């Protein structure tokens, strides 16, 4: 869910980590995950604290995020044989000869699928030059 919505989960936790120790209380941990769309019970948070907690019961969120693998975005990574997360949708642009109609159709698809174009292009602009190669 974090990858799909392109959220930076670490920054959500850092907003509450006033001393930059990369740890937050169990209550804050639960609140942040709830704001990210993942609702946990108090018992579940306590179990997470057993693994990622310190002696005061605070949860080390940086280790949790690292182990949950939501910080890494691999573009053009080596193929592992697993199914791709990309779902090819057959878009038929045949018959669209007018430029306005084509742009309108693209705009409607972007709005319908809630695609964030800026982030999409930035992901593929590896050198951050502001353009994509042919």
76 vs 69: which has the higher pLDDT:
69
Coil/strand/helix, residue 107:
helix
For 89-133, what is each residue's pLDDT tens digit? 666 656 556 777 778 888 888 888 787 877 777 777 777 777 776
Q: Cβ contacts of residue 48 below 8 Å, gap of 6+? A: 29, 40, 59, 64
In this predicted structure, the answer to whether residue 49 has a pLDDT above a threshold of 80 is yes
Please check whether residue 14 lies inside any domain of the structure. yes
Q: Which domain holds residue 29?
A: 9-68
Q: Is 47 found in the same domain as 19?
A: yes
Average pLDDT rounded to a whole number, residues 57-71: 81
Q: Is 62 found in the same domain as 13?
A: yes
Plot region of 21 (φ>0 → left; ψ -120 to 50 → alpha; else → beta): alpha
Please check whether residue 110 lies inside any domain of the structure. yes
- Split at pLDDT 50, 70, 90, the class of 85 is low
Please check whether residue 130 lies inside any domain of the structure. yes
Q: Specify the number of domains making up the chain.
A: 2
Which of 41, 68, 95 marks a domain boundary? 68
CATH number of the domain that residue 47 is part of: 1.10.238.10
Please check whether residue 98 lies inside any domain of the structure. yes
Q: Is 122 found in the same domain as 92?
A: yes
């Amino acid at each position: 869910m974090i990858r799909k919505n392109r959220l930076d989960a670490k920054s959500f936790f850092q907003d509450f980590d006033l001393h930059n120790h990369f740890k937050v209380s169990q209550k804050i941990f639960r609140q942040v995950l709830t704001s990210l769309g993942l609702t946990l019970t108090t018992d579940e948070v306590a179990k997470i604290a057993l693994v990622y907690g310190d002696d005061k019961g605070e949860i080390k969120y940086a280790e949790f995020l690292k182990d949950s693998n939501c910080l890494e975005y691999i573009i053009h990574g080596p193929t592992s044989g697993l199914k791709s997360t990309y779902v090819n949708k057959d878009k038929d642009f045949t018959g669209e000869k007018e430029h306005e109609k084509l742009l309108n159709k693209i705009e409607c698809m972007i709005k319908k699928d809630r695609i964030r174009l800026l982030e999409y292009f930035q992901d593929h602009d590896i050198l951050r030059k502001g353009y994509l190669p042919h």
